[in-house]
Amino acid sequence: MRVPVVSVDGKPLMPTTPARARKMIKDRVAVGRFNKLGIFYVQMLIPVGDKTQEVDLTVDPGSRYDGYAVGTAKETVLKAMAKMSEKISEKLTHRREMRRFRRYRKTWRRLCRFDNRRRGDYWIAPSQLAKVQFRLKIVKELCKIFPIKRIGVEDVAYNHYKGCGKHFSTAEIGKTTLYKELELIAELVIFKGWQTADARKKYGIPKSAKKDLIAPESHANDAVAMLCMLYDRNVNTDAPFYYWQRPELVRRSLHRDKFQKGGIRPRFGGTSNGGFLRKGDYVEAEKAGKIYRGWVCGLSTEKTAKVGVMDVFGKRIGQFAVKKVRLLCRRTGVMWMVVNPSVANSSHL
């Protein structure tokens, strides 16, 4: 296991061992922090050398889950798995229908815009845009604490000659946009899917057929195989495994699906109610002498004065009194969890 290190001015340095990190914090020459992905790192409080070795990042994009790996020529520093946002098109369709219903309820109606408006030159489907933005957010946060020199990506391809890929064009636009942004961060290296499969067999890296398995064998090991190809050798694959997911928060709605009695539509959705806590904040809650940690999913209302807390998978843990909830971190747009690979096979499947 290695702990990321950054300099006084925030420049990423080479990772260090946990023992050395504890010693630096104890001697008050460094301070421990957490980034937006829930990764612990130390920031130096005194000037040190800024020479770094080669550290690379690999990404295995997927339709629902992505795999990530950070490593050097000797070992893998970090493995991760990220779940992409889902049902974006359905949410946009529902929002459009509700907007039309609301427009027709008004006395003065705003006329519909033409459907043949010209799209911008860099238009991308909202479903793909959400995935690209989430991937770039993860990559940029990793580059802030690791001195990334190269970024390896498995190319998502489709054989248009053998099959009809009419719905794959949006994925082509999404990956092109992703590649352009990654080239601005570090050197981009693209691998084919068959190359990743051959590398797994060559270096004996296990692979699971279950795509939703919260374990390195589902997606992260594909990224580890690309690390082996970058260094042309078998690297140590023992590393902490993280799981990342975006919080699915209900935004504030100006209208409801069904007519409300009396014509008064109560407030629905939103991430703040004017109080201290907001939806998506990472908190620590207590109930019956037991401590829970999670993300705020429900705020206090006129009917109930309790705060709802959910786990990393978006499942509600329970409702807690406001006085029993303590803020740990403001909303970062990402929910995280460190998974023990030996236990992952029997939980959250």
Structure confidence at residue 347 (pLDDT): 35
| Average pLDDT value for residue range 114-125 | 74
Given a cut of 60, whether residue 71 has pLDDT beyond it is: yes
Q: Where exactly does CATH 2.30.30.60 map onto the chain? A: 261-332
Interatomic CA distance for residues 242 and 237, integer angstroms = 14
Task: Answer whether residue 165 shows pLDDT above 70.
Answer: no
Identify the residue with better confidence: 251 or 149. Answer: 149
CA distances 300 to 150, 277, 279, 304, 306, Å, are 46, 10, 11, 6, 5
| Domain 53-85+121-246+338-344 = CATH 3.30.460.80 | no
Looking at 3.30.390.50, 2.30.30.60, 2.102.10.10, 2.170.120.12, the CATH number of the domain 261-332 comes to: 2.30.30.60
Confidence of residue 305 (pLDDT cuts 50, 70, 90): confident
Q: In the predicted model, is pLDDT for residue 292 greater than 50?
A: yes
Both tokens of 79, joined, read 């493995």
Pinpoint the alpha helices (H) of the chain: 18-26, 88-105, 126-145, 169-183, 193-203, 220-231, 341-344
Whole-number mean pLDDT of the chain? 88
Average pLDDT over residues 37-64: 94
Structure-model confidence comparison of residues 298 and 167, the more confident one: 298
pLDDT at 348 over 60: no
Give the confidence band of 98 by pLDDT, cuts at 50, 70, 90.
confident
pLDDT at 80: 96
Residues 183-225: tens digit of each pLDDT: 999 999 999 999 999 999 999 999 999 999 999 999 999 999 9
- State the pLDDT at residue 164: 63
Q: Which position has the token pair 């050197």?
A: 187
CATH 3.30.420.10 domain extents, the chain: 53-85+121-246+338-344
Q: What confidence score (pLDDT) does residue 341 get?
A: 44
Q: Please state which of the ranges 245-254, 257-266, 328-337 shows the lowest mean pLDDT.
A: 257-266
Mean local confidence (pLDDT), 336-345: 62
The string of pLDDT tens digits covering residues 8-20 is 999 999 999 999 9
> Which position has the higher pLDDT, 302 or 194?
194
Q: Is the pLDDT of residue 131 over 90?
A: yes
pTM confidence score? 0.89
When pLDDT is averaged across residues 73-81 and rounded to a whole number, the result is 93
Please check whether residue 150 is in contact with residue 101, taking contact to mean a CB–CB distance below 8 angstroms: no
Q: What are phi and psi of 43, to 5 degrees?
A: -115, 130
- 307: pLDDT confidence band, cut at 50, 70 and 90? very high
3-state secondary structure of 195: helix
Q: Is the pLDDT of residue 7 over 60?
A: yes
Q: Which residues contact 208 (CB under 8 A, 6 or more apart)?
A: 215, 217, 218
101: tokens are 């219903």
